[in-house]
Structure 1
Amino acid sequence: MIHANPNKPVALFALILIQAICVTFFLWDVLEDARPEGIGALANLHIAIEAMAALCLIAAVMFETRYLMTLLRRKSHLERQVSVAAGAFHDIIQGHFDRWKLTPAEQDVANFTIKGLSIPEIAALRGSAEGTVKSHLNGIYRKAGVTGRGALVGLLIEDLFETPLVKDNVLEVKQQA
């Protein structure tokens, strides 16, 4: 079984190419078998079945090519959407950090907290004591007006849902295209 890397559709293109080669062979074989008798050769069940198989294979190759191109376009579109969402989330987080007037150390701890790291993990990454991280977290929660990690993440996620991911002028350009 062929497993294609979703980031490299080369294997799928190769499979379609192999099928196209098979189509060429089957068509050549049918034409060679039918040449002496012409169109009347299709009365021969064997030649008729070969011709039908060749036509079905042609349709399959065309369908697979079209479907693969559709999937690649969809994948590209989804990657762009994820990129826009990631950028928007970063902007929302940074906007909150600025409004809350977090210190650089608090911003660092807040980012690690939002990513789901524990207090000991944050302390190890920052090279500081767990008590220092807890102190930063208390300052972050106080400035943000929340009671804990879940409320902090919830506040940021809520803003992501309320913020349009694409600016109006970008939407207008897309609608005009």
Structure 2
Amino acid sequence: MKLEEQIRTASEAFSTMLETHFEAWKLSKPECAIARLILQGYEVSDCADILKLSRTDVLSHQGTVFAKVGVSNWSQIKTFLTDQLFSGSKRGQYCPFIWSKAQKNSKIF
């Protein structure tokens, strides 16, 4: 039971972190939905089917997400989020939730 509780707590914290970032990046509802699905491993065509959007609309929203966040692909967003999780636990302090365009190329360590 302890592991299940830890997973639930971590999941809730990660969801809060995502929502905080999405709000800071000023993502629209469709952009948030697409970001969640892509971060979970879905392909663009899957997002289109799930959200009942055209593939073109999903790609357009994806481009807007990249522009708002200041990245060129999902891998950069995943790396950023993962780095925050690891660096926060290693340093014993809270991670900053906002990734400004000026900070995106700076090293964490």
TM-score when normalising by structure 2: 0.76
**Aligned position for 2:98:** none
- Taking the aligned partners of 2:86 and 2:29, their CA distance within structure 1 comes to 26
Give the match's secondary structure for 1:157: helix
**Aligned position for 1:130:** 55
1:91 aligns with 2:16: yes
Residue 161 of structure 1: CA displacement?
2.3
The unaligned stretches of length 5 or more in structure 2 are 90-109
**Aligned position for 2:40:** 115
**Aligned position for 1:159:** 84
Structure-to-structure mapping, 1:42-81, within 5 angstroms? 76-81=1-6
**Aligned position for 1:23:** none
Q: Which has the higher contact order (CA 8 A, sep 6+)?
A: 2
- Residue type at the aligned position of 2:67: R
Note the alpha carbon deviations across 1:71-114, whole angstroms, 9 max, x for none: xxxxx221111111111110111110010000011001111111
- Taking the aligned partners of 1:148 and 1:87, their CA distance within structure 2 comes to 25
- Residue type at the aligned position of 1:82: I
The unaligned stretches of length 5 or more in structure 1 are 1-75, 165-177
Identity within the alignment, %: 27
For the pair shown, the structure with the greater C-alpha radius of gyration is 1
Question: Matched residue pairs, number?
Answer: 90
Note the alpha carbon deviations across 1:145-176, whole angstroms, 9 max, x for none: 11101111111222222345xxxxxxxxxxxx
- Taking the aligned partners of 1:163 and 1:84, their CA distance within structure 2 comes to 16
Q: Does the CA contact (< 8 Å) of 1:88 and 1:160 recur in 2?
A: no
Structure-to-structure mapping, 1:31-50, within 5 angstroms? none
